Chain A
Amino acid sequence: MVIELKMNKINKSLVLVFLFVISAWLPSSQALMLKHDHQPSAVKKENLITDNKCKNAEVKCAKTMTSAFAPNGDLWRLWAQQQKLWVQISQDNGVSFSAPKSLAIPAEKISARNENRPKIAFDNAGGVYLSWATPRERKYTADVRFSYSKDYGNSFLKPITVNNDNLLAGHSFNEMLVTANGEVSIVWLDGRLSHQLRKQGKKSNGSALFLAQANFKEASSDNLAVFTNQQLANGTCVCCRIAMDFNKKGDLAILWRHIYGDNIREFALLTHIKNEETGRKIYQVSHDHWKINGCPHQGGAISVDKENRYHMVWFNQGELGKGIFYASSGDQGKTLSQPISVGTLSQQASHPYVNKNNENIDIVWTQFNGFEHQLWHQRSINNGQSFSKASLLATAQKGSDRPFIINKGKTSYVSWQRPKQGHWLQAL
């Protein structure tokens, strides 16, 4: 008994010494880690404050913002935070908004940075349509997702995957348009072909442009609509957003960055004519000769007017053309007007957006002068033959999202998310 007690004492002492060593080593190892990290304490502090602020859903916390007017005049703004989609609705054109509300969709990862962001659209019967990309378990793999509400956002269909290949491959950079009758068109950059080629030990370059279409409004609740999947082009750039608009006939006009020859990254245009399965012509729109085996991270924009003229903007850093350019085409891309240079190249003019509404062609873009981010605007009232002098609309201090233009009747609004600062909305 005495011996056992002594042993107990020894054992306890050993354990205590062991635990003391462990506990003493833990903080020192942490200190060592911080030393290796070399991060200034001020930076850590700032991040910590941001963390606390962003525990609640708040517009300022959004990296990207998507805005759209519903047919009833409501302005919806949509962003992703904490694996949820959040919305706020304004009934006074953005002067005031309802409290942030998370949509009734199960939480999942949502791509929302730079060129990637969730999309929202409406039909004429209270239908709300959502599309986003959800990253999968392996790097550069994702699925394009879709959900639909027939009761103006109160309840949503369980999200479905739009790409039908069931492959752990890249499916991202989704764009969506919905007609008043609920015909949904989603385009995205699809990696199924390159995935298959790699599996066969073959080389591939770029992604493919895919289109999915379905009508959920007209389908019965027992027999849900199914998305078609159609390849429209192959050999696209893998990390630039796509742009899409309806033309005068209701066909889709799609603009994207394509890979020509030996990594020449230029913009390409295609009109998806309904019921015409073959013979769709792809036109090269830009000829700036930007050769880069990499990611420009700069997609273009397109807006088609009532006379079926396609208005386009893009950014390139080519040997023959650098900066933002505007051009238009009256024959769906076959011929093009002389491109006009936009913005101040030395001030990082980039991320342009174009919109034709009424008689106005508006172009917005961002610049950075070394101190602040700036939102700029130019307008043409003569169908793009000339533009007014560029005017500064707003500034941002903590970063800048891409700017967009949305329409409400004859009035156009610019929507610009300023991370950590707030969402800027202004009638043009």
Chain B
Amino acid sequence: MNKHLSAYFTLGLFLLCCATAQANYQAVNQQAFSKLSLEEIKQKHLGKRWLMVLWSLECPACFKELELIKTLKLEHPREALNIVFINADDTDDTDDANNERKQVINSYDMKSFVNFYFTDGQGDLNRYQIDPLWYGELPRSYFVNEQGEFHGKSGLLDKSLIKKWLIEK
């Protein structure tokens, strides 16, 4: 019986571990991007300054920017960093990139932020919905003011610029 008992418990523990690992891996706060969700997030932030950061798995400079924001998160209260992330990779669920995106959100400690992603086959549409004059260069950021006006900037951001916009004001 003891043998059976340990076998049952081992099985139980195994299931528990698997479930926990799966939960940690999948519990990433991310949403498919749409024009409606952009409008909602814009309305929600009216009266506040915020930053919209677009990144891609195929953009080395984007990872420098994510690392920079991760550092800022350690130096300042989370509430001070009013940032929304959008992954612009336009991947489907069969792609390795889809899993990679989740891993990036985990490893760059982006889980407490709102994370959007461009949906499969809709990348150009999603990009157009954000800004018809943005041609896909990355990283791309939008500084959004209290009135909900977007000011786009391409390329890696300076830490001082983010701090000036979100923290020092």
Contacts and interface: CB of A to CB of B under 8 A. Distances in A.
Interface of A: 4, 7-8, 11, 15, 18-19, 22, 25-26, 29, 32-33, 36-40, 43-44, 46-48, 50-51, 54, 113-114, 139-140, 238-239, 263, 291-298, 315, 317, 346, 348, 350, 368, 370, 373, 397-400, 419-420
Interface of B: 1, 5, 8-9, 11-12, 15-16, 19, 22-23, 26-32, 56-63, 90, 92-94, 97, 119-125, 128, 132-133, 135-140, 154-156
Given A22-B12, A33-B23, A114-B58, A297 B136 contact: yes
Given A50-B120, A297-B136, A368-B125, 10 more contacts: A7-B1, A19-B12, A29-B19, A32-B23, A50-B92, A139-B57, A263-B155, A294-B139, A295-B60, A420-B121
B135 A315 contact: yes
Secondary structure class of chain A's binding surface, majority of residues: mixed
Contacts of A400: 124
B59 A295 contact: yes
Contacts of A29: 19, 22-23
Nearest to B104: A139
A295 B137 contact: yes
Nearest to B34: A40
Contacts of A33: 22-23, 26-27
A399 B121 contact: yes
Contacts, number: 138
11 contacts: A33-B22, A38-B31, A44-B93, A51-B92, A294-B155, A315-B135, A348-B132, A368-B128, A397-B121, A400-B124, A419-B121
A294 B62 CA distance: 7
A25 B12 CA distance: 12
Nearest to A54: B94
A252 B31 CA distance: 47
Contacts of A140: 60
A41 B57 CA distance: 25
Contacts of A263: 155
Contact of A317 (B16, B57, B135): B135
Contacts of B120: 46-47, 50, 399
B67 to A, nearest CB: 12
A294 B156 contact: yes
B124 A22 contact: no
Contacts of A26: 15, 19
B155 A399 contact: no
A348 B137 contact: no
Contacts of B140: 294
A373 B92 contact: no
B92 A295 contact: no
A18 B60 contact: no
Nearest to A23: B15
A15 B8 contact: yes
